[in-house]
Chains A and B, each alone.
Chain A
Amino acid sequence: MDKVEYMIKSLQKAFYHSSDLTVRQIDWHEGDTAILCFYASLVDAKEVQKILDTIYARLDTEKPFWSETLLTTLDNFALPQAIERVCQGETLVILPDTGKMLTLAITNEVRRNLEEPNNEHILRGSHEGLVERADTNLTLIRKRVNNPALVVKSFTIGQQTNTKAYYLYMDGVIRPETLQEMEKRIADIKIDYFYSIGQLSDALEDSVLSPFPQLLNTEHPDRVVAHLVEGKIVVMTNISPSALIGPVTFFSFYQTPDDYNSRVVVGSFYKIVRLLSFVTAVFLPAFYIAVISFHFEVLPLELSNQVKNDVNDIPYRPLIEALILEIIMELIRESSIRLPQSVGQTIGIVGGLVIGDAIVSAGLVSNLMVIVVALTAISSYVVPSVELNSTIRMIRFPFMLLASLFGFLGIVVGVVILLIHLISLTSLKQPYFSPIVPFQPKAVYKIFLRWPFIRPTVQVTSFQPPKDEKGKNEDTP
């Protein structure tokens, strides 16, 4: 059997006779034959043809570096490497006579247009969003930081899928211990088949079972850059538009680019409103349940008469009443995500107005409970981050349960547990609840106020207070 034919056979076998694989014998320079091998699905055939034409022309002029262009390289042939390259979408021209292979890195670009991220709407500022291609994303970021100190390191995830991924950081701003920790975790990733960003964040987080996200998930390149210059690491993959940012604090989930694009005073006001929304979103239903079933003496007389009228004929216990409404609320949310946008509106109206009104007149739920749950739902959607927002909606259920068991005592117990958890939580081994822990009185105001933007602050790295009482350890080094 001919050597060429044998090679074609073995290549086809190596690719399991996949239908979209093209393996063909072609003519090469001066009567030689060559083997062309590529995935038709991954390669832009027209472009490949153009480059090949150029190379043919070069071969005729007998230049020594005929094979070197921006997109082509000439290597010694080896089957494993050949397979890897073809899998990455490159085109292979194998020259059996010389034992070399020419690779053409021209892939068929499947890319989406840059759009504003759907789940992170902002009013002002850049409306570009990251997409599902790492090189485009890197372009978007490099465009904003024209500095060689922005370091991009690549790695692959998934022993079987070999997905490309990158981590980015600003050299000189990032703390070495942060970088080491991240590199260690990346090295420890053990995933065979990688297909979703959630797998990566599970692998990188400090405590996976905590309800609070410890890595910030964003699709806004400007948000990515803002965190890079604060000394954080950004991990991006080739398959998802989300960038994972770490280490972060609890309060960074409450920031949006809008804060810094609006006026100082206005931005501060909305920051405070957003933080207060945490309180209403988590505690309001629990508080209401506790008042109605344990401590109704706190209500002033006029209000208490109204409340009494309202709850008098409700057949269920307040907890059940609240659960009915909360579950309806969650159902409406879930269904409006899955439905196309035009129908989603209808669901909102049917769910909100029709069910809300009917359930009250049917006497299942009191008017006040509808107000409480609606207010809670609105406040939980105020959080700019999708993950934290779902966390908040979830943790109010344990609070409601505790409140219905022990009244305010239950809420106090819940709050203390929540605080202990938050205070001891870490993000890349760094305190998650800073600047409360370690306590830095001078940094606390930054939680509530958006200060005139002068220089970025850097994440607190340790649970220990700073060495020097005067200097804050989150200042740029």
Chain B
Amino acid sequence: MYRKGIMLLLSMLLLAGCWDERLYKNASVVTLVGVDGYIGAYKGYYAYPNTAAQQNEVIEADGISPRDVRNQANLKVEQTLDLSELSTILVSDQTVREPLYDILDIYFRDPQNPISIKIAVTEGDVKPFIELTKDLAGGAGGYYERFMESTEENTIFPKLDLQTVGSMLFEQTIDIALPYIQLSEDKKHAVAAGVALFSGQTFTGTILTPKQSLTMLLLMNQPSKQARMSYMWKHDGKSMPITADVIHIKRQWTVNEELKRIDMDYLIEVEIEEFAHDHLYKDPVFKEVQQLIQDHVQAEFEEVLRILQGQQSDTLGIGRYIRAYHPKMFQKDWHAVYASLQLVPSVQVKIIRTGVLR
């Protein structure tokens, strides 16, 4: 009797088991998602690889919410759409005028979705950006992921993933700057076009050019593998390009609570990577070049800070700094305070290496 019972239980388990089974072969692994529209009328694009044809399929659907869009899209595919291998989300610049968290909620809530993925804002509709991946042999999401990672290494895009974005969205004290991408002229590939500035949850409408976003990242003390700056050196009526690569940054912020003024001292150590004139061992040349870079960087710092303050976008995390170290100065409505702060950058550039030539 006892044995029979066990047998019965076992066979029941065997027959009924696998409630949570999701066979990999039955899933369409979406790697790239595009979101367009606004609450009540979203448009979603899902790209997944078609293994037989070695290219990517794109499914388009409408719905009232991001999740609803996905349900609608599911009606159009022969397998289930599965977002657990998602690697990039693209959002159009119109959509992010509304609070960003609205569309990201489903990605945070569903345990199957990864949160170590990339997110970017596109210029105009998302559709062409998704469509251009159709003919790619590799994965669609993988293309954008690699694209953004390499741009991050060039210190154009900040190093972000969905989790860090979410973390900053919940905080008043820091704002996000998301990668902003354009289409190339032949509409065949994407081009990094700087960063989209956010104030709180919404897009301000202001875009920093790649050069400005590099400056912003230097201000944030986040130089990546390469951070190159090129300037023209005018000497004896000739123009000569200089390229410098940032090696280290030392940053010190001094806060004056009464004047609401922050002195931002930066010491930037660079390596010269291009300078056809050579002869940097000559003291006057060296000094002049160093001064030139310093002046340019100083000007750029001031410009970027002006833009950031003008858009009330605290991407540098000044709010975090103030709240932690000067809690008295911190106020609930941080963005207003931030805009009225007096930010005074002062840059000192040091050339510490000149490549293998003198």
Assess A/B contact in the complex (Cβ within 8 A): yes
Interface footprint category on A: 20 to 34
Q: List, in ascending order, chain B residues with CB within 8 A of A405's CB.
A: 13-14, 17-18
> Within the complex, which residue of B18, B21, B22, B139 is in contact with A301, where a contact is CB–CB below 8 Å?
B139
> Within the complex, which residue of A292, A309, A313, A407 is in contact with B20, where a contact is CB–CB below 8 Å?
A407
Q: Looking across the interface, which residue of chain A has its beta carbon closest to that of B29?
A: A308
B-facing mask of A284-323, CB < 8 A → 1, else 0? 0000000011101101011011011101111001100000
**A301-B31, A309-B51 as given contacts; A292 in contact with B24, CB under 8 Å:** yes
Q: Does A404 contact B (CB under 8 A)?
A: yes
Cα of A302 to Cα of B29 in the assembled complex, Å: 12
Q: List, in ascending order, chain B residues with CB within 8 A of A311's CB.
A: 24-25
Q: Does A406 contact B (CB under 8 A)?
A: yes
The answer on a CB contact under 8 Å between A308 and B49 is: yes
Q: Does B85 contact A (CB under 8 A)?
A: yes
A171 to chain B, nearest CB (A): 47
By Cβ-Cβ distance, the 8 closest A-B pairs, closest first, are: A297-B84, A405-B17, A296-B24, A311-B25, A292-B24, A309-B51, A312-B51, A312-B25
The answer on a CB contact under 8 Å between A293 and B23 is: yes
Q: List, in ascending order, chain A residues with CB within 8 A of B145's CB.
A: 301
**A301-B85, A301-B139, A405-B13 as given contacts; A294 in contact with B49, CB under 8 Å:** no
The answer on a CB contact under 8 Å between A296 and B139 is: no
For chain B, what secondary structure do more than half of its interface residues adopt (helix, strand, loop), or is it mixed? Answer: loop
Complex A-B: 10 CB contacts under 8 Å: A297-B84, A301-B141, A308-B49, A311-B24, A312-B25, A314-B25, A317-B23, A318-B23, A406-B17, A407-B20
Q: List, in ascending order, chain A residues with CB within 8 A of B18's CB.
A: 293, 404-406
Cα of A292 to Cα of B18 in the assembled complex, Å: 13
The answer on a CB contact under 8 Å between B22 and A294 is: yes
- The CB with the most chain B CB atoms within 10 A, among A292, A296, A301, A308, is that of A301
Query: Of residues 249 to 307 in A, which have CB atoms within 8 Å of B's CB atoms?
Result: 292-294, 296-297, 299, 301-302, 304-305, 307
Q: List, in ascending order, chain B residues with CB within 8 A of A314's CB.
A: 25
Q: List, in ascending order, chain A residues with CB within 8 A of B51's CB.
A: 308-309, 312
Query: Of residues 178 to 230 in B, which have CB atoms within 8 Å of A's CB atoms?
Result: none
Cα of A304 to Cα of B138 in the assembled complex, Å: 12
**A293-B23, A297-B85 as given contacts; A304 in contact with B29, CB under 8 Å:** yes
Q: Does B114 contact A (CB under 8 A)?
A: yes
- The CB with the most chain B CB atoms within 10 A, among A297, A317, A318, is that of A297
Cα of A311 to Cα of B79 in the assembled complex, Å: 14
Q: Does B150 contact A (CB under 8 A)?
A: no
5 extra A-B contacts, CB within 8 A, seeds A293-B21, A405-B17: A297-B84, A301-B142, A317-B23, A406-B18, A407-B20
Size of the chain B interface, CB-CB below 8 angstroms: 25
**A405-B18, A406-B17 as given contacts; A304 in contact with B23, CB under 8 Å:** no
Q: Does B312 contact A (CB under 8 A)?
A: no
Cα of A372 to Cα of B68 in the assembled complex, Å: 39
Q: List, in ascending order, chain B residues with CB within 8 A of A293's CB.
A: 18, 21-24
- How many A-B Cβ pairs are below 8 Å? 63
Q: List, in ascending order, chain A residues with CB within 8 A of B85's CB.
A: 296-297, 299, 301, 304
Q: Does B7 contact A (CB under 8 A)?
A: no
Cα of A95 to Cα of B114 in the assembled complex, Å: 96
Cα of A301 to Cα of B139 in the assembled complex, Å: 9
Q: List, in ascending order, chain A residues with CB within 8 A of B138's CB.
A: 305
Cα of A294 to Cα of B26 in the assembled complex, Å: 12
Q: Does B87 contact A (CB under 8 A)?
A: yes
Cα of A138 to Cα of B20 in the assembled complex, Å: 60
Cα of A301 to Cα of B23 in the assembled complex, Å: 17
A-facing mask of B45-64, CB < 8 A → 1, else 0? 00001010000000000000
The answer on a CB contact under 8 Å between A302 and B17 is: no
Q: List, in ascending order, chain B residues with CB within 8 A of A301's CB.
A: 31, 85, 87, 139, 141-142, 145
Cα of A304 to Cα of B82 in the assembled complex, Å: 13
B113 to chain A, nearest CB (A): 8
The answer on a CB contact under 8 Å between B141 and A292 is: no
Cα of A317 to Cα of B23 in the assembled complex, Å: 8
A320 to chain B, nearest CB (A): 12
Query: Of residues 117 to 150 in B, which have CB atoms within 8 Å of A's CB atoms?
Result: 138-139, 141-142, 145
The answer on a CB contact under 8 Å between B22 and A296 is: yes
Query: Of residues 143 to 180 in B, which have CB atoms within 8 Å of A's CB atoms?
Result: 145
- The CB with the most chain A CB atoms within 10 A, among B13, B25, B87, B142, is that of B25
Q: Does B112 contact A (CB under 8 A)?
A: yes
Q: Does B27 contact A (CB under 8 A)?
A: yes
Q: List, in ascending order, chain B residues with CB within 8 A of A304's CB.
A: 29, 85
Cα of A102 to Cα of B142 in the assembled complex, Å: 94
Q: Looking across the interface, which residue of chain A has its beta carbon closest to that of B48?
A: A308
The answer on a CB contact under 8 Å between B49 and A297 is: no
Q: List, in ascending order, chain B residues with CB within 8 A of A302's CB.
A: 142
The answer on a CB contact under 8 Å between B139 and A305 is: yes
Cα of A308 to Cα of B84 in the assembled complex, Å: 13
> Within the complex, which residue of A297, A313, A317 is in contact with B112, where a contact is CB–CB below 8 Å?
A297
B-facing mask of A54-68, CB < 8 A → 1, else 0? 000000000000000
- The CB with the most chain A CB atoms within 10 A, among B14, B85, B112, is that of B85
Cα of A405 to Cα of B21 in the assembled complex, Å: 8
Q: List, in ascending order, chain B residues with CB within 8 A of A297's CB.
A: 84-85, 112, 114
The answer on a CB contact under 8 Å between B20 and A294 is: yes
Q: List, in ascending order, chain B residues with CB within 8 A of A292's CB.
A: 23-24
Q: List, in ascending order, chain A residues with CB within 8 A of B49's CB.
A: 305, 308
A-facing mask of B1-30, CB < 8 A → 1, else 0? 000000000000110011011111101010
B302 to chain A, nearest CB (A): 41
Cα of A404 to Cα of B22 in the assembled complex, Å: 11
Q: List, in ascending order, chain A residues with CB within 8 A of B21's CB.
A: 293-294, 404, 407
Cα of A203 to Cα of B253 in the assembled complex, Å: 81
Q: List, in ascending order, chain A residues with CB within 8 A of B17's CB.
A: 404-406
Cα of A292 to Cα of B27 in the assembled complex, Å: 11
Cα of A406 to Cα of B142 in the assembled complex, Å: 30
Cα of A406 to Cα of B18 in the assembled complex, Å: 6
Cα of A108 to Cα of B157 in the assembled complex, Å: 91
Q: Looking across the interface, which residue of chain A has its beta carbon closest to that of B84?
A: A297
B93 to chain A, nearest CB (A): 26
Query: Of residues 428 to 450 in A, which have CB atoms within 8 Å of B's CB atoms?
Result: none
Q: Looking across the interface, which residue of chain B has its beta carbon closest to that of A313?
A: B25
